[in-house]
């Protein structure tokens, strides 16, 4: 699907930000729709945007409440949140409520475009998940449960494989500590358990575990598996 076919709903109360996004994204072939507040955004959901860019600081509806409402009405539309620098708690809550990614203000257009592409790819993958995942030298066969690096099979423990499987199923999306703990352990809430398995998994699949290329850390928030280019 070409960018020209993607309609992006920008929800932001700041005219300069909307102008920046309109000019920058239009130049890359996206069709832009704008909502200066939450109520207008909810009315515009009926137009079925392909992706939403949501600023959490809106004048009429709290951003997280709006995100919750949007996700209840549309389970599949990708949502990229714009967040204030250092708003770590808000980022985590937004991701747990169903946002696909976040970009911190001030942001660069290239970074935003990359996050948008990843969010769109993630949704397409979830709609028609491919059984074999490839990124550089890493290959994960979700049907046969085989993991290879440079065509050499890697032996993983059941929990290591489960962790990698969840990351693969959401490649390109930031997964919070809370989400991953809930997927892998019913009762555990200590992120230290997760860090142990991430470290072990990196030792087995990363070219340099100290400088990971596949499992990327979102400091204080969670992890992201690098999506194929």
Is pLDDT at 158 greater than 70 in this prediction?
Answer: yes
Supply the pLDDT for residue 2: 42
**Which pLDDT tens digit goes with each residue over 83-114?**
876 678 888 999 999 999 999 888 899 999 98
* DSSP conformational letter for 214: S
Q: Copy the structure tokens of residue 160.
A: 């290591």
State whether 123 and 10 are in the same domain: yes
Give the chain's length: 229
Is pLDDT at 143 greater than 50 in this prediction?
Answer: yes
Q: Could you tell me which residues come within 8 angstroms of residue 177 by beta carbon, excluding any fewer than 6 positions away?
A: 92, 191, 194, 221, 222
- The domain boundary, picked from 127, 158, 173, lies at 127
Q: Binning pLDDT at 50, 70 and 90, where does residue 190 land?
A: confident
Q: How many domains does the chain have?
A: 2
123: left (phi over 0), alpha (psi -120 to 50) or beta: alpha
Rg (CA), the chain: 18
Residue with tokens 């028609």: 128
Question: Whole domain around residue 61: which residue ranges?
Answer: 3-127
State whether 184 and 137 are in the same domain: yes
| Closest-CA residue to 94 (of 103, 81, 76, 75) | 81
- Please state whether the peptide bond connecting residue 213 to the residue before it is cis, i.e. omega within 30 degrees of 0: no
- The string of DSSP letters for 40-83 reads HHHHHGGG--SEEEEES--SSS-HHHHHHHHHHH-SSS-EEEEE
State whether 86 and 153 are in the same domain: no
Q: What share of the chain is helix, strand, coil (3-state, %, to 5)?
A: 45, 20, 35
Strands of the sheet with 7-11, listed across from one edge: 31-35, 7-11, 51-55, 79-84, 101-105
Measured CA to CA, the distance from residue 208 to residue 205 in angstroms comes to: 9
Report the CATH number that the domain containing residue 86 is assigned in CATH.
3.40.50.2300
More confident residue, 205 or 219: 205
Q: What is the pTM of this model?
A: 0.71
What is the mean predicted confidence (pLDDT) over 122-139?
75
State whether 89 and 170 are in the same domain: no
């Amino acid at each position: 699907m070409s960018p020209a076919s993607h309609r992006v709903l920008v929800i932001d109360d700041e005219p300069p930000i909307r102008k920046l996004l309109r000019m920058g994204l239009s130049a890359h072939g996206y069709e832009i729709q704008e909502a200066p507040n939450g109520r207008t955004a909810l009315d515009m959901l009926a137009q079925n945007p392909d992706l939403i860019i949501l600023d959490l600081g809106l004048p009429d509806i709290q951003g997280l409440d709006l995100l919750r409402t949007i996700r209840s009405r549309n389970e599949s539309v990708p949502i990229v949140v714009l967040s204030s620098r250092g708003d770590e708690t808000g980022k985590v809550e937004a991701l747990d409520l169903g946002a696909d990614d976040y970009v911190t203000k001030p942001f660069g257009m290239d970074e935003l475009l990359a996050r948008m592409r990843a969010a769109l790819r993630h949704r397409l993958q979830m709609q028609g998940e491919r059984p074999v995942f490839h990124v550089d030298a890493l290959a994960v066969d979700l049907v046969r449960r085989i993991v290879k690096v440079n065509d050499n099979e890697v032996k993983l423990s059941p929990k290591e494989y489960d962790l990698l499987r969840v990351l693969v199923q959401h490649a390109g999306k930031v997964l919070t500590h809370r989400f991953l703990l809930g997927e892998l352990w019913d009762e555990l809430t200590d992120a230290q358990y997760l860090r142990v398995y991430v470290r072990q998994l990196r030792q087995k699949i990363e070219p340099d575990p100290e400088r990971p290329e596949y499992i990327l850390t979102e400091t204080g928030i969670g992890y992201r598996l690098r999506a194929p280019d």
